[in-house]
Amino acid sequence: MTIRLAENFRAVFYAPLYAAQALGLYAQEGVKVELIGSSVPGDGVSALLNDRIDVTWGGPMRVMKAHDLERNAPLVCFCEIVARDPFFLLGGHNRTGFELKQLSSLRFATVSEVPTPWMCLQNDLREQGIDPSSLARQPDQSMAANFEALCEERLDVVQLFEPYASMALQRRVGNILYAASDRGLTVYTTFIATRSGLKRHSDEFAGMTRAIGRMQAWLAENGADELAKITAPFFPQIDRNILVSSLRRYAEAGIWARTPDVSRQGFARLGECLLSGGFISRMPIYEDCVDQSLN
């Protein structure tokens, strides 16, 4: 049986997932996986609930939200892949000694495509005694548009992920002012399935989890340069030197999980961010949202 796996959207910080595919690790575990593209973040979850796919990857925030709305929601997470926040604040080269409190006086834009980066950043602000509502955030637009606005000095600070950080440094249009990975463990990407699907495909999902574990061991041994080499076909629009720089920065920041276990500490941190931002109304329960039986 072929497992239909939907990507969340194409992103550099998902590179280890593409590596598992490129290295044939699923097949080595006896699982045939069909990778299905998704151009809209979160579209995989709706496809999952409509039984158009078997599993997707993405942010556990979607599972937390589902359980906040319905205590017996069918969604469940398993197998952690991204363990820290991959976003950055980028700003002009003339900004030195940057502190988050300075955002209140700057032309600032956050990510519009997905909610998690802002949910996490607003919690970072609260922890430093800064009211997120005091910031004059610019109207929502894409990361690509915000990067262009930074290059043209129409914005002072923008929230973006790689490869934009490496592009900004290469073009000398901005510096990394703040790396959200410095916050610490924050579960960012796992596989997501339904409870019924997990029971139906338990052997296959267990094999996929083992494959991710093997990928994590491979990554620890080979590093970012080799990761760029085998995943480059997934990112044909990104120059090789930018891809290498992006993956090296992520590796040095430790954003990728080292084992498939879903971190309780990282799960709690994400829950705290979503709760403080009003995205959910109560702290999520780990056992309701996460299945560890496949590890």
Report the C-alpha gap between 134 and 30 in whole angstroms.
53
pLDDT of residue 39: 63
Read off the pTM.
0.95
Tens digits of residue pLDDT in 84-124: 999 999 998 666 788 999 998 999 999 989 999 999 999 99
pLDDT of residue 43: 77
Residues 89 and 38 sit within 8 Å (Cβ to Cβ): no
pLDDT in tens, 191-212: 999 999 999 999 999 999 999 9
Give domain limits for the chain: 2-84+185-289, 88-183
Give which of 181, 201, 176, 180 is closest to 191, Cα–Cα.
Answer: 201
Q: Count Cα neighbours of 58 within 13 Å in the Cβ-side half-sphere.
A: 30
Phi-psi label, residue 129: left if phi above 0, alpha if psi -120 to 50, beta otherwise: left
Find, among 47, 1, 44, 51, the residue nearest to 26 by Cα. Answer: 1
CATH superfamily of 88-183: Periplasmic binding protein-like II (3.40.190.10)
- Check for a shared fold between 2-84+185-289 and 88-183: yes
Report the alpha-carbon distance of residue 116 to residue 122 in Å, rounded. 10
> Mind listing the pLDDT tens digit for each residue in 221-236?
998 999 999 999 999 9
pLDDT value at residue 47:
86
Which architecture, in CATH terms, is 2-84+185-289?
A: 3-Layer(aba) Sandwich (3.40)
Environment class of residue 139 by beta-carbon count within 10 Å: exposed (0-12), middle (13-18) or buried (19+)? exposed
pLDDT of residue 31: 97
Residues of the chain with pLDDT under 50: none
